[in-house]
A and B are shown apart, each in its own frame.
Chain A
Amino acid sequence: DTEVTQTPKHLVMGMTNKKSLKCEQHMGHRAMYWYKQKAKKPPELMFVYSYEKLSINESVPSRFSPECPNSSLLNLHLHALQPEDSALYLCASSPYERESTGELFFGEGSRLTVL
């Protein structure tokens, strides 16, 4: 079983809706990540939180708004999305503040469909 839990597993929303994706880890990791993955593509880094502070934003549109309420939780707030935002959204955690340093622990993802 994965130690990073994401909810919901599936989400369908209209372009005017507001929804949130949630991620939780209990491994005591200092860094948490959001990735977007389109079908048959590798994951693309969106945001990194380190010690509950946003450390990296990969020029993500403002319709995606991350939040880290505490060291175990990571949210991604969604508003006014476009159909091309439909994808698998993966959360990951790591003892390291850089994705390129060491092992990333991923959740199973939230599959988002924007109508």
Chain B
Amino acid sequence: AQKVTQAQTEISVVEKEDVTLDCVYETRDTTYYLFWYKQPPSGELVFLIRRNSFDEQNEISGRYSWNFQKSTSSFNFTITASQVVDSAVYFCALSHYNAGNNRKLIWGLGTSLGVNP
């Protein structure tokens, strides 16, 4: 079954700490995409990254970095030197082909990150 697991429901850190949000996925597809979205208290979901299953290179964007490992089916997200503005719910998502041969997103349940000053 296609599935995305974000085992950490809530994480609380103090500003400037590094924090890693875990994402483990299951899929039978050989080609798939993985995503991370951020949802701050204002409500809108903000796209952070899309990763193709064929590209296992890690990615860094400012304080954000992503570690994609097909061997462990994980796509973890690290925030370095966290800031209060990083407080949000973070969703990991997997694209897969459903029974109708259409690609859909499977979302994890999200990790709520609180960064305290």
Q: B-contacting residues of A (Cβ < 8 Å)?
A: 2, 4, 40-43, 45, 56, 88, 90, 92, 98-109, 111
Contacts and interface: CB of A to CB of B under 8 A. Distances in A.
Interface of B: 33, 37, 42-47, 50, 91, 93, 95-96, 102-105, 107-110
Contacts of B37: 104
A90 B44 contact: yes
Contacts of A99: 103-105
Nearest to A55: B102
Given A42-B109, A45-B104, A101 B44 contact: no
B43 A104 contact: no
A104 B45 contact: yes
Contact of A98 (B43, B93, B103, B108): B103
Nearest to B49: A103
Given A42-B109, A42-B110, A45-B105, A103 B44 contact: no
Given A42-B110, A108-B42, A100 B105 contact: yes
A70 B91 CA distance: 31
Given A42-B93, A107-B44, A111-B43, 10 more contacts: A4-B44, A41-B110, A42-B108, A45-B104, A98-B103, A99-B104, A100-B103, A106-B44, A106-B45, A106-B46
A100 B95 contact: yes
Contacts of B42: 108
A107 to B, nearest CB: 6
